[in-house]
Amino acid sequence: MNEPEIGTKIARLLDRGLDDMKQGTLNRLESARRASLENYHIRETVVGVDHGHSGQGASARSGHDWYSRTAKLLSAIALLFALASIAYWQTLQQSDENEDIDIMLLVDDLPINAYLDDEFDTWLDHY
Amino acid sequence: MSNFLAEIERRAYKQALFAVRDEHLALDIVQDSMTKLVEKYAAKSLEELPLLFQRILQNTIRDFYRRQKTRSLWTTLFSSFMPRNRETENDEYDLLETLQSDGASNFGKPHEQLEQSQLIGLLEKAIKTLPARQREAFLLRYWEEMNVTETAKIMGCSEGSVKTHCSRAAHALATLLKKDGIEL
């Protein structure tokens, strides 16, 4: 027996097996189908209302759009604020370090390694 | 839409049940698939619905496998600290490779022992033992009556792979049923 023949016979047997399904399972399947279709009918009604009263439908949709746009805008602002805060904090850190070096220079308390650093000499020449 | 769902719901449930082997999960998968179909493709024509529904159903089943794999990864990680008492079942178990080494069948001759419902029971049990991809291809091709191109589209693989999966599944099922004394 070839593959399509086997396939067809098995499919026929499986079809017959569908009739023996438990009533409880069939009921649950039916309620699952109804639940899915309820959403469909709600959406259909909304679409119907949109077509019938385009002003109301449009305002409802534009209200939803407004909320989603505002949410996106607020997220973008929050992100920008976070980035600006990080940049500001890094600048503060840098100025603190510079301040420490200035103080050490003024009180003549610079570590010996600083004088051995070529970059430090360049920096001193520069100022 | 309602008629379409009523027509396919039993087969969809059985397909999910063959894959996940749990009635509640299978029902959840069918409901998820129906909801997704209704939400996204309610406006599509009736001819397009079977293909779309099958794609959604198979993806939902695959999602279940993915979640199960993640869960079992954690379980394996934790259980590696515990002593091992039994062999774990291999997901990619191939029926054809094991049939030859198996011993005699537990069942007698079909005309003596099996009613039709028992035969169907055996068949369904055999289908459950097929590797997931073989089962998916076989059921889509022969039960859902999709052609090779449609099946390949749903499964996201080549037409050649579909043919290979179908051929192996058909022969595995025939061999297994023959082993139980059932000639198709």
Per-residue model confidence as pLDDT tens for chain B (184 residues): 888 999 899 999 999 999 998 899 999 999 999 999 998 888 888 888 999 999 999 999 998 888 888 877 777 777 766 655 544 444 444 445 444 444 444 444 545 445 677 888 888 889 999 999 999 999 999 999 999 999 999 999 999 999 999 999 999 998 888 888 777 7
Q: What is the pLDDT of residue A3?
A: 87
Taking CB atoms and an 8 Å cut-off, how many pairs form between chains A and B? Answer: 98
d(CA B146, CA B150): 6
Percent of residues, chain A, with pLDDT higher than 70:
77
Chain mean position to CA A56: 31
d(CA B145, CA B154): 13
User: Which chain B residues have a beta carbon less than 8 Å from that of A23?
Assistant: none
Taking the CA atoms of residue B120, residue B121, residue B124 and residue B126 in that order, the dihedral angle to the nearest 10 degrees is -110
Q: Which residue of B has its CA nearest to A9?
A: B184
> How close does chain B come to A71, measured CA to CA in Å?
24
Helices B159-179 + A3-17 axis angle, to 10: 70
Which residue matches tokens 């996204």? B40
* Residue B100 vs residues B91, B96, B108, B165, B169: alpha-carbon distances, Å: 19, 7, 18, 19, 16
User: Which chain A residues have a beta carbon less than 8 Å from that of B171?
Assistant: 3, 6
- Compare CB distances from A11 to B2, B31, B143 and report the shortest one's residue: B143
> How close does chain A come to B61, measured CA to CA in Å?
17
- Compare CB distances from A29 to B30, B143, B173 and report the shortest one's residue: B30
- The predicted-structure confidence for B84-104, as pLDDT tens digits, reads as follows 554 444 444 444 544 444 444
Residues recorded for chain B: 184
User: Which chain A residues have a beta carbon less than 8 Å from that of B5?
Assistant: 33, 36-37
Query: Rounded mean pLDDT of chain A?
Result: 79
Q: What is the pLDDT of residue B33?
A: 92
B30: contact with A, CB 8 A cutoff = yes
Cβ contact, residue pair B173, A6, below 8 Å: yes
Q: What is the pLDDT of residue B102?
A: 44
d(CA B141, CA A110): 82
Domains, chain B, in order of start with CATH, read 2-79 (1.10.1740), 95-179 (1.10.10.10)
Q: What is the pLDDT of residue B87?
A: 44
- Between A32 and A122, the more confident residue is A32
Name the CA radius of gyration of chain A, rounded: 37
Cβ contact, residue pair A11, B38, below 8 Å: no
User: Which chain A residues have a beta carbon less than 8 Å from that of B44?
Assistant: none
- Between A75 and B71, the more confident residue is A75
Q: What is the pLDDT of residue B99?
A: 46
Percent of residues, chain A, with pLDDT higher than 90:
20
- Do residues A12 and A18 make contact, with C-beta atoms less than 8 angstroms apart? no
Phi, psi at residue B83, to the nearest 5°? -70, 145
Q: Is the pTM of this model over 0.90?
A: no
Residues 55-114 of B with CB under 8 A from A: none
Q: Which residue of A has its CA nearest to B12?
A: A29
> How close does chain A come to B116, measured CA to CA in Å?
9
CB atoms within 10 A of CB B55: 19
> How close does chain B come to A74, measured CA to CA in Å?
29
A13: contact with B, CB 8 A cutoff = yes
Mutate which of A2, A5, A6 to test chain B, going by most B C-beta atoms within 10 A? A6
Q: What is the pLDDT of residue A64?
A: 59
